[in-house]
């Protein structure tokens, strides 16, 4: 028996035809302006991620003491040299 998963993947929306018809009539008569939905593009998400990434390093550097930064740098250097050996 073949089971079709495509129906499960679809989002189930409630259809209220009276409300939809009312909105269509309002838009057609000019009582309400129809606003197209702004689709978020992939580059919008990338820009948001980059913005957060630019903030994080600076905030962490300000929070750490010079001794803590030195310890982190030593640990990173050991990890780099260990990988080459």
CA gap 42, 23 in Å, rounded: 30
pLDDT for 20 equals: 83
Residue 27 · residue 34 · CB < 8 Å: yes
Q: What are 36-79's pLDDT values in tens digits?
A: 666 667 777 777 788 887 888 888 889 999 999 999 999 999 99
CA gap 75, 68 in Å, rounded: 11
- For the whole prediction, is pTM greater than 0.85? no
Q: List CB contacts of 33: < 8 A, sequence separation 6 or more.
A: 27
Q: Left if phi > 0, otherwise alpha if psi is -120 to 50, otherwise beta: which for 17?
A: alpha
């Amino acid at each position: 028996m073949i089971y079709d998963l495509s129906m499960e993947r679809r989002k189930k929306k409630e259809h209220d035809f009276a409300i939809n018809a009312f909105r269509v009539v309002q838009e057609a008569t000019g009582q309400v302006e129809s606003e197209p939905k702004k689709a978020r593009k992939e580059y919008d998400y990338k820009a948001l991620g980059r913005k957060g990434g630019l903030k994080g390093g600076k905030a962490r550097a300000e929070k750490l003491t010079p001794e803590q930064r030195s310890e982190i740098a030593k640990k990173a250097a050991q990890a780099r040299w260990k990988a080459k050996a």
